[in-house]
Structure 1
Amino acid sequence: MSSLRYLAGLIALLFALPLSAEDLSMTLRTQQETKPGSGRYHRLTREESWRPEHTAIIVCDMWNLHGCRNAVLRGQEFAPRLNDLLAKARAEGVTIIHAPSGCMGFYADHPARKRAQATPKAADVPEGITSWCYQIPSEEMDNYPLDQSDGGVDDDPEEHAAWAAELSKISDKPRTPWTRQTELLTIDPEQDFISDKGDEVWSILSAGEIDNVILTGVHTNMCVLGRPFGLRQLAQHGKNVVLMRDMTDTMYNPKSWPFVSHFTGTDRIVSHIEKYVCPTVTSDQILGGEAFTYAKDNRPHVVIVMAEDEYETNQTLPEFASSYLGKDFRVSYVYGSETERNDIPGLDEALESADVLLLSVRRRALPPQQMEAVRSYISAGKPVIGIRTACHAFGLRGASPPTGTETWEKFDPEVFGGNYHGHHNNKITSQVSVIEEAQESPLLTGISAEPFTQQGSLYQVSPLADGTSVLMTAAIEGQPAEPVAWTFTRADGGKSFFTSLGHKTDFDNPAFQRLLLNSVYWAAGREVPEAFDLTKYEPPMKKI
């Protein structure tokens, strides 16, 4: 009996926490399909309150060295903030588990390693938790978002060769040179745990009655997801596990599909996790300040809002953005509700960090909080791009909005300088021409001066407001030409671009593709590329 009392006392000591510890206020971000089988997702947040004594942070594979030089540099860049996060969380009573896989020999005599080994094996250790987990059933719903079959090394070839030569001097395993966790992270010998074993980590969590688990470290698409203590294993066995999405990195080479920047590659993995594995959080929720971003990640944030029922832009715009914007921009997609017409879930949250707003919305009233987010974004002088029905995005032709919603009837003239008052017959095509005086505009870069055919109905918008500059017009036989693409300087000083093009067939037209692409660079204040490869690359066979 005395030995049992001693063991119980030891466990209590190991997990002893300040009685005054305050709850952790966590904002969990998830993605929920707009409707079953749609393939489109609302990005949603929810608030939770976590007791520190029932919370753990696992630090995955933050090694001292790696075969990829860029991976080492990125890890070193966010490690100081991660260390600050661990210190604050530890002080508040959160359990810290360091998991530098394959390095247990280095820590054989460390108190934190011995503490992990001394933890009694839990009675509820899940079957298979000592093994790598490559996929859970929910992930079978979609293609994996990256091709990582080359290992994800994104070093410049010459730098990589030099780095490999340097590693060969200090390690007999230059491709896997790690020996310990980075020294940039402090391991508290009095409180922390060290383990890379799934059953040990599970037992530590069980002994501390810990249900809330935060995963940090590298690499998201490999170790963080797949390790025995990783997101998949903990999620499928019932832990309230989350990824800290700003305290991580990805092994992804931009020379592989989908041929986007390294940082967009990480975004794609985070999105995959939010859809199929678990929620995500950010470090500022514990540490304060702002979420971490890499110094080289200077991508403007483009928010694409889709809520119209005629032109299928909820398909064409994501396909366009996925194909062409991933190298230079961070892109978020916001969709109208499938069940409540006058609701665009996640709109206000997305606009908080938006640098460019691209609208494809038709006649929606909005809840006050969402409309205020739109008004605040625009009144701040930020750029707006509108296609097709965006000129009547938030108007109901003067009708009273449903209870609990608001309209913006003058959105067209105030935001786009437009004057939409109808359209020509849907079955009549029009010929689109570039305005000769506008040919030097960056918005027309790479676009031939040759006229092309518009399949959708021609909008009637003349006359436009002062402050507009017309780039393209279109005409049908026997009718005056109408502007179909123009810029506008708003009263708030911000700039807008609008085009009445945007019919589903327009997205197969290289001239429209370049026009829309150019508008995003222009709106973001970036130089419009002189040349741009408009090839669409199909994803490889699903491979994790």
Structure 2
Amino acid sequence: MKNLKREAVNSRSLTLLALAMLLSVCTGYAQHGELWLEYAGGQGPGKGKKIVLISGDDEYRSEEGMPMLAKILSTHHGFDTKVLFAIDPEKKEIIPNYKSNIPGLHFLADADLVIMLIRFRELPDEQMKFIDDYIQAGKPIIGLRTSTHAFNYGKDNQSKYRKYHWMASEAGWEKGFGKRILGETWVAHHGHHAVEGTRAMIDGLSHSSKHPILRGVKDIWVASDVYTVNGLGDDAEVLVHGAVTHGMTADTPINWEKALMPIAWTQTYTSDAGNSGKVFTSTMGASVDLESADLRKLVVNAAYWCLNMSHLITENTKVDYVGAYNPTMFGFDNWRRGMKVADFK
């Protein structure tokens, strides 16, 4: 009888152990291969700080650029990073033009910094809540390229977060998240899209005052064109202006018939809850743009600045790729089909 009881206990223990192992494996898979990426920080000044990078645009291949930046921030600088993607919930594939699902936004609850490149998302309220909570807390944000027009609610959508819409008219949120938080919404292409590129012109006053984000940044040319920027807020500081280039290679001359436009600036925002946060915005940021080492340096320096770590920025910010990086040229509907999150690890 004792042997039977012992066997029953052992059997039950083995069953519970097997279930625990299965749960562990399933949970690990969900977190590290199916819905989002995680990179533990190595040694570096960012040790213990958490950065969430959000991709989700249908043109500029942020699903390629954000993992690359996350690896740099984790491996070279010590930050713990997570990368979120637009996911088709049935296929569990990255579908950049699937506009209503970005799993993992709950990680914003304890994030120290968000870096985003998203475009015209219409997320459900249960996901938008985490973005709104983050902003209401006054936490820092880096917004790249199309993040100026990150959200686009349909006319019949009655979401309580409609104020984030890129052309919102709600008092205090006119022109939505882009204007209220980042400094500008979508206006127009100033350069000829996919025909003219952008030559970065470092702002002389900011350079003379030794703005920490500009340390070591000297030469940026990107393939994405200059955006029109109509009017930034009074507290915005333009760090880089964009000159339109006649062609799509770095050696093409500047088109001086088109005025310079701000393409990178800092400012602060104040949330409805009265909390203020630091902002760095750049209208550069396509995956092919990030082949520019000095643009990567600009973004990494901005992360330090946003986290009040400017004193740790050097002239030689390390932004070498971690592994291979072969970005896809921007364009609608040209993302790599059938890609799972783990394929970007």
TM-score by length of structure 1 reads: 0.46
User: Compared with structure 1, are the counterparts of its residues 395 and 341 closer, same or farther at alpha carbon in structure 2 (3 Å cutoff)?
Assistant: closer
C-alpha distance in 1 between matches for 2:200 and 2:21: 57
Q: 1:502 — aligned with what? A: 285
Q: 2:83 — aligned with what? A: 333
Q: Is contact 2:66-2:83 (8 Å) kept?
A: no
Q: 1:392 — aligned with what? A: 149
Q: Is contact 2:65-2:286 (8 Å) kept?
A: no
Q: 1:431 — aligned with what? A: 199
Q: 2:319 — aligned with what? A: 534
Query: Where does structure 1 lack aligned partners over 5 or more consecutive residues?
Result: 16-203, 214-233, 246-269, 277-295, 540-544
C-alpha distance in 2 between matches for 1:365 and 1:241: 32
C-alpha distance in 1 between matches for 2:104 and 2:47: 23
User: Compared with structure 1, are the counterparts of its residues 471 and 366 closer, same or farther at alpha carbon in structure 2 (3 Å cutoff)?
Assistant: same
Q: 2:302 — aligned with what? A: 519
Q: Is contact 1:351-1:373 (8 Å) kept?
A: yes
C-alpha distance in 1 between matches for 2:229 and 2:299: 20
Aligned residues: percent identity? 23
User: Compared with structure 1, are the counterparts of its residues 507 and 414 closer, same or farther at alpha carbon in structure 2 (3 Å cutoff)?
Assistant: same
AA of the residue aligned to 1:412: G
Determine whether 1:412 maps to 2:170.
Answer: no
**1:173-213: CA deviations, max 9, x gaps?**
xxxxxxxxxxxxxxxxxxxxxxxxxxxxxxx4xx2254343
AA of the residue aligned to 1:337: I
SS of aligned partner of 2:87: coil
Determine whether 1:7 maps to 2:8.
Answer: no
C-alpha distance in 2 between matches for 1:441 and 1:310: 31
Q: Is contact 1:473-1:484 (8 Å) kept?
A: yes
**1:269-321: CA deviations, max 9, x gaps?**
x7798439xxxxxxxxxxxxxxxxxxx99421000010001111111221222
**1:46-100: CA deviations, max 9, x gaps?**
xxxxxxxxxxxxxxxxxxxxxxxxxxxxxxxxxxxxxxxxxxxxxxxxxxxxxxx
Shift of 1:369: 1.5
User: Compared with structure 1, are the counterparts of its residues 209 and 481 closer, same or farther at alpha carbon in structure 2 (3 Å cutoff)?
Assistant: same
AA of the residue aligned to 1:466: D
SS of aligned partner of 1:389: helix
Q: 2:103 — aligned with what? A: 345
**1:387-439: CA deviations, max 9, x gaps?**
0001110135xx42657785412101111122431113211223210101111
Query: Where does structure 2 lack aligned partners over 5 or more consecutive residues?
Result: 35-44, 90-97, 166-175, 245-255, 325-345
Q: 1:488 — aligned with what? A: 267
AA of the residue aligned to 2:308: G
C-alpha distance in 2 between matches for 1:211 and 1:414: 55
Which one of 314, 338, 345 corresponds to residue 63 of structure 2? Answer: 314
Q: 1:91 — aligned with what? A: none
Q: Is contact 1:211-1:239 (8 Å) kept?
A: no
Q: Which has the higher contact order (CA 8 A, sep 6+)?
A: 2
C-alpha distance in 2 between matches for 1:273 and 1:356: 20
Determine whether 1:441 maps to 2:211.
Answer: yes
User: Compared with structure 1, are the counterparts of its residues 274 and 509 closer, same or farther at alpha carbon in structure 2 (3 Å cutoff)?
Assistant: closer
Q: 2:237 — aligned with what? A: 469
User: Compared with structure 1, are the counterparts of its residues 504 and 465 closer, same or farther at alpha carbon in structure 2 (3 Å cutoff)?
Assistant: same
Shift of 1:7: 1.6
Q: Is contact 1:335-1:344 (8 Å) kept?
A: yes
> Which protein shows a greater Rg?
1
Q: Is contact 2:73-2:81 (8 Å) kept?
A: no
Q: Is contact 1:368-1:405 (8 Å) kept?
A: yes
Q: 1:122 — aligned with what? A: none
SS of aligned partner of 1:494: strand
Backbone CA RMSD of aligned residues: 2.9
**1:336-386: CA deviations, max 9, x gaps?**
123642111121x21122110111110011111111111110110100000
SS of aligned partner of 1:345: coil
User: Compared with structure 1, are the counterparts of its residues 475 and 373 closer, same or farther at alpha carbon in structure 2 (3 Å cutoff)?
Assistant: same
C-alpha distance in 2 between matches for 1:338 and 1:321: 22
C-alpha distance in 2 between matches for 1:346 and 1:353: 12
Q: Is contact 2:268-2:278 (8 Å) kept?
A: yes
User: Compared with structure 1, are the counterparts of its residues 212 and 388 closer, same or farther at alpha carbon in structure 2 (3 Å cutoff)?
Assistant: farther
User: How many correspondences in the alignment?
Assistant: 273
